[in-house]
Chains A and B, each alone.
Chain A
Amino acid sequence: NAGVMQNPRHLVRRRGQEARLRCSPMKGHSHVYWYRQLPEEGLKFMVYLQKENIIDESGMPKERFSAEFPKEGPSILRIQQVVRGDSAAYFCASSPPSGEWGEQYFGPGTRLTVT
């Protein structure tokens, strides 16, 4: 049973470009969460999605950031017009529909570097 997959693992973008981060949840999981982590810091919640629905995007910046989880295919976190401050590790986690105690299973992350 494959774990949570994220790609790319590393992404370099110039200021002003777009970054697209992909996440495929574990088989049977329909809930996806995106987190951001700066070096030497904990995880910061960004958004919680179920298939075709954004449940909670309270942690997402209001501009330039968007997320989707379509009926088919991976979840996408999209950052438009990236700035240096967007450089961070972005983690995706998934959980099953009736996840016991909300346990989340994480992917290996995408490390975004904005030059």
Chain B
Amino acid sequence: TQLLEQSPQFLSIQEGENLTVYCNSSSVFSSLQWYRQEPGEGPVLLVTVVTGGEVKKLKRLTFQFGDARKDSSLHITAAQPGDTGLYLCAGHMDSNYQLIWGAGTKLIIKP
């Protein structure tokens, strides 16, 4: 059982559509990070959220941390082919240096 569950596992949509992917847990995290990984490359850090209810925007990407700090979402507006990749969430629990990883959402944006 994964401590961080990501959904959906796979998503394929047309360019221009909006989408949301989720990262859920029954445990509380002190911080949560989102990474994007392209084929053949390492994950690249997109954002870190630390405060319950926090919302961060990165161009067309909006990240939200749940009020209880147990879940997070990533919303992409007007998706573009360049958004294609594996989106991974990872979190820190209090007093633990280790990052807990979700299994990822594989996103394909078709032109």
Contact = CB atoms under 8 A, between A and B. Distances in A.
Nearest to A43: B101
Interface residues of B, number: 23
Nearest to B100: A45
Contacts, number: 56
A108 B43 CA distance: 8
A103 B48 CA distance: 8
B31 interface: yes
Contact of B45 (A43, A103, A109): A103
A41 B103 contact: yes
B66 interface: no
A4 interface: yes
B43 A106 contact: yes
B41 A109 contact: yes
A49 to B, nearest CB: 12
Contact of A109 (B42, B92, B104): B42
Interface in B24-58: 30-31, 33, 35, 40-45, 48, 50
Contact of A42 (B45, B48, B102): B102
26 contacts: A4-B42, A33-B99, A40-B106, A42-B101, A42-B104, A43-B101, A45-B98, A45-B99, A45-B101, A48-B98, A56-B97, A56-B98, A91-B42, A101-B30, A101-B33, A101-B48, A101-B50, A102-B31, A102-B92, A103-B45, A103-B48, A106-B35, A106-B42, A106-B44, A109-B40, A111-B40
Given A48-B97, A106-B35, 5 more contacts: A42-B102, A45-B98, A102-B99, A104-B99, A106-B44
The 7 A-B pairs at the shortest CB distance, nearest first, are namely: A106-B42, A42-B103, A101-B31, A42-B104, A102-B92, A43-B101, A106-B43
